[in-house]
Amino acid sequence: MTKLSVNINKIATLRNARGGDRPNVVQAAKDCERFGAQGITVHPRPDERHIRYQDVYDLKPIVTTEFNIEGNPTPDFLKLVKDVKPEQVTLVPDAPDAITSNAGWDTIKHKDFLTDIISEMKSLGIRTSIFVDPVESMIEGAAIVGTDRVELYTEDYARQYHANREAAIAPYMKAAVKAQEFGIGLNAGHDLDLDNLKYLKENLPGLLEVSIGHALICDALYYGLENTIQLYLRQLK
């Protein structure tokens, strides 16, 4: 079964909008795990507009499933990762002012940079994943830099899904096959929801994990967090 990692950034966004500590992100992570999530994802950004660096430190001792920290590998981010030593770090090339992640790595152009970071992360026993577009050459580049996994950036898939899901999934299927050829683990994330998740799972061989935040938290407003997590898990069975 493909694992579900819940991105709790939006919980922190709600907290930060009012100040104080409601909702509490640590308690939210505990609840997500209690309700069936198999991982917790956070994506701290330099301006700390949602998840704060201190949140990451606070979460480390209480996350009992897989802890996945996403972000642009700036010096501050890398220090955080080295301090916390999560099970997985996902390297994302997002600009500091980006509202959300909007592109994958050019693994060929940034070969030396990624190779050095991945080597350092592996020396600390941290599994590495690189956020990439569904392009076969980028998968090959990811293999060359030595990453353990890639996370396919699924915004294009989600945007095209209702118009033509066969066309939408096609480049992702090719990317998944290429990842298998190179022995790279496969994750996926961005704009996945209860409409498009099952079809993605059914058509991507070897899909190990999906990271879902925005849509899942939005659904939880209507269905409740526990029920929503169970609904997402059913799509992955």
pLDDT tens figures, 36-95? 999 999 999 999 999 999 999 999 999 999 999 999 999 999 999 999 999 999 999 986
Among 74, 129, 86, which residue's Cα sits nearest to residue 105?
129
Of residues 110 and 103, which shows the higher confidence score?
Answer: 110
Q: Is 100 annotated as a binding residue?
A: yes
Q: Is 18 annotated as a binding residue?
A: yes
Residue 228 has pLDDT above 90, yes or no: yes
C-alpha 32/C-alpha 16 separation (Å) is: 20
Residues annotated catalytic, as ranges? 43, 70, 190
Q: How confident is the model at residue 101 (pLDDT cuts 50, 70, 90)?
A: low
pLDDT of 100 higher than 70: no
Q: What is the pLDDT of residues 104-154, one digit of tens each?
A: 999 999 999 999 999 999 999 999 999 999 999 999 999 999 999 999 999
Report the CATH number at residue 76: 3.20.20.70
The residue ranges of DSSP E strands in 116-228, in sequence order, are 127-132, 149-153, 185-189, 207-212
Give the pLDDT confidence score for residue 171 in this predicted structure: 98
Q: Residue 55, annotated ligand binder?
A: no
Provide the whole-model pTM. Answer: 0.95
162 labeled binding residue: no
Mark residue 220 as left, alpha or beta (left: phi above 0; alpha: psi -120 to 50; beta: remaining).
alpha
Interacting residues of 93 by C-beta distance below 8 A, sequence separation 6+: 72, 103, 104, 105, 110, 131
Domain count within the chain: 1
Range of the domain at 213: 3-235
188 phi and psi, to 5 degrees? -150, 150
- Within the chain, strands assigned E span 3-7, 39-42, 66-71, 88-91, 127-132, 149-153, 185-189, 207-212
Q: pLDDT tier at 97 (50, 70, 90 boundaries)?
A: low
User: Is 110 annotated for ligand binding?
Assistant: no
Amino acid at 89: V
The pLDDT value given to residue 9: 97
